[in-house]
Amino acid sequence: LSESRSVADRVTLGVKGMTCGSCVQSIEGRIGALPGVFHIQVSLEQSNATVTFDHTRQSPESLAEAIEDVGFECSLTNATSAPVQTETKVFSTAGCSTDSIQQARCVLAQTEGVLETQESADHRGLAVTSVPSLVSVERLVDVMSCLVPDAHEGPSSRSSSGVEAVKMRIEGMVCLSCTTTIEGKIGKLKGIEKIKVSLESQEAAVLYLPCVITVDKIVNQIEVAGFKAIVKSKPRQLKLSASEVERLLSAHKQEEKVSEPCTDSSITTVFQVTGMHCKSCVVNIQDNISKLPGVSSVVVSLENRQATIQHNPKQASVVELQKAIEALPPGDFKAILPASPEPGFLQPLVSVAEIHIEGMTCGSCVQSIEGMISQKKGVRSALVSLASHQGTFEYDPLVTTTEELRAAVEDMGFDAFLPETNSLVPSVVKSPLPSVRSLSLSPVWSAVKENEAESDAEPATNTISKCFIQIGGMTCASCVANIERNLKNEHGVHSVLVALMAGKAEVRYSPSIIDPQRIAEFIRELGFTAAVMEDCDGSDGTLELVVRGMTCASCVHKIESNLMKQKGILYASVALATNKAHIRYDPEVTGPRDVIRWIENLGFTASLVKKDRPGSHLDHSREIRQWKRSFLISLFFCVPVMGMMIYMIIVDHQIDTSHHHNATAEDREKYHSTMFLEKQLLPGLSIMNLISFLFCVPVQFIGGRYFYGQAYKAVKHRTANMDVLIVLATTIAFTYSVVILLVAMVEGAKVNPITFFDTPPMLFVFISLGRWLEQIAKSKTSEALSKLMSLQATEATVVTLNDDMSVLSEEQVDVELVQRGDVVKVVPGGKFPVDGRVIEGHSMADESLITGEAMPVTKKPGSTVIAGSINQNGSLLIKATHVGTDTTLSQIVKLVEEAQTSKAPIQQFADKISGYFVPFIVGVSFLTLVAWILIGFVNFPLVEKYFPGYDKSISEAEAVIRFAFQASITVLCIACPCSLGLATPTAVMVGTGVGAQNGILIKGGEPLEMAHKIQSVVFDKTGTITYGAPKVVQVKMLAEGNRMSRSKLLAIVGTAENNSEHPLGAAITKYCKQELATESLGTCTDFQAVPGCGIRCLVSNTEHLLKRDDSDSEENQCNAVLIQISDTSSDHPLIMDPQLLSESVVQTSSFTVLIGNREWMRRNALQVRAEVDEAMTEHEKRGHTAVLVAVDNELCAMVAIADTVKPEAELAVHTLTAMGLEVVLMTGDNSKTARAIAAQVGIRKVFAEVLPSHKVAKVEQLQLEGKRVAMVGDGVNDSPALAMADVGIAIGMGTDVAIEAADVVLIRNDLLDVVGSIDLSKKTVKRIRINFVFALIYNLVGIPIAAGVFMPVGLVLQPWMGSAAMAASSVSVVLSSLLLKCYTKPSAEKLERRLGEVRRHGSLSEVSVHIGMGELRRPSPKLSLLDRFVNYS
């Protein structure tokens, strides 16, 4: 029966101010809960809300007001309410109990689209009023099926009522307690009649009422309990009689009598919760929300950032729960409402998709993929294997597709590839080679195409913007993956590219949904520092091209207009006069190669402007050539002038000797006038002065032009440097000489004036020689950098691929033309031109030049490659991810450059001195001039006495002035701040260079200088003192040898643990493989792992692993076979059926294996004997982890595993202690392990159970005690502490090392390098001090001599002697620094000898342990039975 009438209206209201899905959810939640509102649908894109409501209880105005109360603007313009067609159907209830009718009414009340339910007029049925557009008749019939299966058939089919059965496969059950957990939890659910779970068959059979609970709900609840459920059989209706149904329902009713039937149905809501950082946040939410009325269970997952809440919607609505979560302290949580689920349960078609997934690193990746994909609409089950990089997904092909699933996995930050075929049945042969859809989209970066496809689906208003975010605290590739994966999951973020070395992320996002500050906030929530970079100009690619073939302005216009039409070109400007084009482009969309191709298609030729290769500034050859040329020019013109000067000195000496040292002025004058050089060409101008002048001019203005340029720049910036001094000295000498010569010529003097034309050439000769040698020295110190630079490849082979991954074309291009997203082919022996990801091929890569890792690294699809590393044995296709200056190599070079140019504090002090020094010297020089002029005029005989070569032929005044000038110019010449300036940088450059050669990368002068002041060295434990990877230290056999040989046990255990992701499992497998000398193991099936307990599995096919010489194991097998025959053969034990024999072998070689702790053995009904327990306790005292192995329910072995100490750790610690340093161990591990390790290496002070965030506080605490602290860590969780310490020393390998927060990086993973770095620091600082002594001695001794202070003792300097001394000081400082090149790192043998017999193992009682942040000292250990299972930090 049905009739139509209208009691409901529908209205569409405009809503402004919504930004994201959570706004939609909050409006729908709040308005949907109002009385009289039947249905609401909010659209974010169209900014409106469509509401179906009862016009007797609500109006458009009241609804608009309610929306505004939620915090949004609501407009009523064009909002007219229209009546909605409703329908009333009558369902017969004849023969039904009142309970079942009540139950049906309860379910109907919660069904969307049902307006009211009441008894029909004749009291023989239920009248249900509904909106047909919101709820279908089929759905109503389905709901009413627990009353009448077919609403139109009446009570005749009553017998096949309501209860259905479903069979499920349950994964993850390991013991009987699991079955009781599932039965207990699911049995309590409303609508579940009966449940039986079998551990053996791993199945569950459930009887349920489909009108009360759906199969999906049951599956979800089983998953909440921690197991995985897969529906096996399609639910079939049970043929139950009416009386049986009645009995079941009444029994159900009695159980639930406590609460009202209509209010006790609970629903499960999954919230996405952001802002959780650690386990305490999880506990906070779980504890507080579970206390709310109507909430029956709360499960919070930190990994998936989800809260699954089971609650009664009548007592606690979804919106109330959301508010409750967000109100919890500290107020940082954000709960995002779930999308409303589709009503009804459809039994879907099931297809299976196999997806190859790359980029997973651990179990949490697996969980997050399974969790996220299984929530996707239409997905029935998700099963991901970390070992095989494979995901198997069961899905409904009508609801979703394999491509959508692949895209969903990629959105989570992993690389996902579909195999060649995908059918409804999982394909047997899995193609190892992933087919990459996007590769056919060459040459433009394929990801952009995907982004475009995404954005096309969105409205045109939703533009995509790009921002750059500076990220600190990233230490390795997994940090990058973590950021990329989490950011991609944020609503509104389209793509993320993180550059580890540059420490920045490029994010493309929708500004209408999210802003850069919010993105930075997300990154900070992940535990990194993040700041939005304001100037994003560097983000756009810039390109300068030479364009040939342009003839007129129309060519220019043609190129510009065509380029601007192309996608990704932001700016294009072409100059006809210079034939150059300046282009700015978006590197994500296009690149230089495309631009050149577009220009060439227009009929012109284009090529890149050849810029200096990166690192050209490290090539000192230009400067070397320049100073060499300057020196040779000065020398060429200086030699004749010096020759004439020497000749004059010799002549004077001869006159003196011939007149027995009492020659008169007249004798000299007579002698001089007869000399050719002294002959006057013009009055006052002698041949000698003319020649000197002519030779001096080119030196002054050609040889010295660099000095003039530098001095001008310095004066312009109001600073005074060495060049200013040199220019002052030479210019004054030259000008004085020219002026005095001109005066003599004007006066027509008979006597030739004494000039200083010999000073500039000599000064320039010595100074350019000094600079030339200095540049040669500098070029030696930057060899390390040049070496790094030379690693860069110059060309790349870019390939275009077909859909089936076959190569369509190849072209050789300059490495600068490689674009992001290009597919590059690298042949064996070739260098990787750019950073990228392997998409096809297998090979090994030699990354030793970049990471210091001597072993070749395996490269397979999905692996990342580093530019500059060498491909060894296989051809690879890689997809470029970072090009140009973004490559790892470019960033390392930049880092090393910055390190070499960063100034040590001592050098800043030297620069300060130089700043004051020049004005001081000019002052001293001027004082010297004035002082000697005064002395000369007051007491001329004094000048006459001490003035060497005083010529009586010149006037007294001239003699005094000449002498004063000579003294003051000598002061200017000898005072050299150069050597002061060179003292530190040369030593730092040589020191860092030598460090790099020895595997110690020192980032700059400051850490190099600081390291020798260190008083306290703090070591991290895991990965620093120890290897950081567990190793098997003992295998103790517990079974008799004739029952289980050692090799057989190892084969079984190795096979069992081969599937385990736990580090302990990996260690056991590695040990077994080494002992058995094999890489392949047996077959492991039914593998189950229980966190905190152990594993259980079935092992077979291990025979081929047993060593042939292991005779007892062979014998053992034979016995087993014979016994088996005698048991099975019915006729006679010796009649052997071959079929039977082979079967029996198979049977005997299958073992049930249990590996785990004592608790695991107890759970599986195995007794651990007292002596075994004792042996385990003994290991645990030493910080080892002991696990037990049981095969076929018999305890067979105990395996002890420990994180082993590096062999050199003890020597390093003792050496540091012998140097007088305090050595501290700091670890997040438990105190017992920490104490054992500390005693082993000789450390006395331990901070145990310290969280990464507390490590910083510990370092600070030591610093507050007035100590200089060095922190040595492996850089992952230690980076904050490394940055806080006075010197952070990072240990480890790989590119992550290079950008560590540390100041010093030890490439070789050798702890003795810590000693080496401190030793090198001491040597370098000592060298810097020696350099300062050299520099200062020249100045302190030379200046007074030059100023004439020591004239009474006959010490007089000519200006040229001053410049020679100055050059010598610079050269001696550089040579002194270069002596550091002879430094050798102290070897282990040398340190052993030096320590002699001092070393001894510390006992446990000598170690003081401090726990966490507490300062209380722990007494010596009471060696009790502690943690059974150690979690490796």
Catalytic residues: 1020
Residue among 1049, 1058, 1110 at smallest CA distance from 1081: 1058
Residue 1256 tokens, joined: 């910083």
Handedness of CA 916, 921, 926, 931 (dihedral sign): positive
CA–CA distance, 637 with 765 (Å, rounded to integer): 9
Residue 862 tokens, joined: 């999905």
Give the bridge partners for 82, in sequence order: 10
DSSP conformation letters of 708-725 = HHHHHHHHHTT---HHHH
Question: Which residues, in sequence order, are CB contacts of 1000 under 8 Å at separation 6+?
Answer: 1304, 1305, 1306, 1307, 1313, 1316, 1317, 1320, 1385
Question: Which residues, in sequence order, are CB contacts of 971 under 8 Å at separation 6+?
Answer: 921, 924, 925, 928, 1343, 1346, 1347, 1362
DSSP H helical ranges for 602-686? 621-658, 665-674
Burial of 875: CB neighbours in 10 Å, binned 0-12, 13-18, 19+: middle
Whether the ω angle into residue 905 lies within 30 degrees of 0, i.e. cis, is no
CA–CA distance, 145 with 983 (Å, rounded to integer): 94
Whether the ω angle into residue 1091 lies within 30 degrees of 0, i.e. cis, is no
Pairing of strands 415-417, 390-395: unpaired
- Residue written as tokens 């540091």? 1216
Residue 1257 tokens, joined: 């506080």
Task: Indicate the length of the chain as a whole number.
Answer: 1433
Q: How far is CA 1190 from CA 1045, 1058, 1157, 1161, 1162, in A?
A: 14, 16, 11, 8, 11
Task: Note whether 301 and 375 are within 8 A (CB).
Answer: no
Handedness of CA 621, 627, 633, 635 (dihedral sign): negative
Residue among 818, 828, 787 at smallest CA distance from 887: 818
CA–CA distance, 368 with 361 (Å, rounded to integer): 12
Residue 1218 tokens, joined: 């012998």
Residue 1423 tokens, joined: 């060696």
CA–CA distance, 971 with 923 (Å, rounded to integer): 10
Burial of 1403: CB neighbours in 10 Å, binned 0-12, 13-18, 19+: exposed
Question: Which residues, in sequence order, are CB contacts of 740 under 8 Å at separation 6+?
Answer: 753, 754, 755, 958
Give the bridge partners for 870, in sequence order: 831, 846
Residue among 726, 1334, 585, 1223 at smallest CA distance from 979: 1334
Strand-by-strand arrangement of the 390-395 sheet: 379-385, 390-395, 351-358, 415-417
- Strand (E) positions, 549-596? 569-575, 580-585
Residue among 1017, 1008, 992 at smallest CA distance from 1209: 1017
Give the bridge partners for 1256, in sequence order: none
CA–CA distance, 113 with 139 (Å, rounded to integer): 11
